[in-house]
Structure 1
């Protein structure tokens, strides 16, 4: 007799990505507790984090579209999370440009991947961010993108 599948077994890749992020977070916390020198935040860290955020953004987009017709209230909350995740990706993208490259000082580089000293990789953070930006601008108003989070008004069914 087999046990029923766990809910997270349906999404093994998402579970693996979450485990990787939890591991990285624990490693940083343990280093901090051991009074080791703080981990260096560099452009590579922020690029990888931005990649995670944009993939989560795509996932939320699909979940929001699927939830809206049968569950409009849940769809609205997921739409809010979609917008806030875009704001987080924008903040990480902005922070990326405030960090120096190995070839420059602390001034950062503008968002022109073709002019980066290391040359434009196949997919830069700027290209990824622009592609995600096109998607969110089709579904979200500029006011929503700049606004604060909406109040939480969830009512739980008994």
Structure 2
């Protein structure tokens, strides 16, 4: 995975996050590979929701001058939300590491006072508000279509 961004780019945090993801990918690839745990899925969900916010901003600023590119970014925005939702669901299906963590279910009514394990739920609900404002339920449930454009490089 190489970056096409120049060294002095305007997205230093994105470059740092990409380096962090590469590090975690290499760490998980080392034998013996262990199954995903709640901590890894929480970190992955944080990356996905941050990318979701970035794609939202890029789609908004790209759409007026370049409508076709903006639509593709908006589609990527939707698909990234679907990925974040799947990771959130997987998080709740994994066993709780210790018995002091109360409950594995997402309870939005208890989020402000809830245990730290529900941080993923807070993040997911916040991202969900953005998605529901800008995306229709049918778009969220549409399967990923085939990519029809071709690369010119």
Q: TM-score, with normalisation over the residues of structure 2?
A: 0.83
Let me know the Cα RMSD of the aligned residues: 2.5
Contact 2:106 2:118 in 1 (8 A): no
Larger RCO (CA under 8 A, 6+ residues apart):
2
Provide the residue aligned with 1:111 in structure 2: 106
Question: How far apart are the structure 2 equivalents of 1:122 and 1:57?
Answer: 21
Residue deviations 1:22-74 (CA, integer Å, cap 9, x gap): 11111222x13xxx2x2242111111110110010000000000110000010
Residues 40 and 152 of structure 1: CA distance in aligned 2, closer, same or farther (over 3 Å)? closer
Contact 1:61 1:79 in 2 (8 A): yes
Confirm or deny that 1:61 pairs with 2:56.
yes
Provide the residue aligned with 2:131 in structure 1: 136
- The count of corresponding residues between Structure 1 and Structure 2 is 143
1:122 CA drift (Å): 9.1
Provide the residue aligned with 1:149 in structure 2: 144
Q: How does 1:44-123 map to 2 (within 5 A)?
A: 44-104=39-99, 109-112=104-107, 114=110, 119-121=114-116
Residues 28 and 157 of structure 1: CA distance in aligned 2, closer, same or farther (over 3 Å)? closer
1:8 CA drift (Å): 6.5
Question: How far apart are the structure 2 equivalents of 1:92 and 1:26?
Answer: 20
**Structure 1 segments unaligned to the other structure (5+ residues):** none
Question: How far apart are the structure 1 equivalents of 2:65 and 2:8?
Answer: 22
Residues 7 and 149 of structure 1: CA distance in aligned 2, closer, same or farther (over 3 Å)? farther
**Structure 2 segments unaligned to the other structure (5+ residues):** none
Contact 1:8 1:15 in 2 (8 A): no
Confirm or deny that 1:126 pairs with 2:121.
yes
1:135 CA drift (Å): 0.4
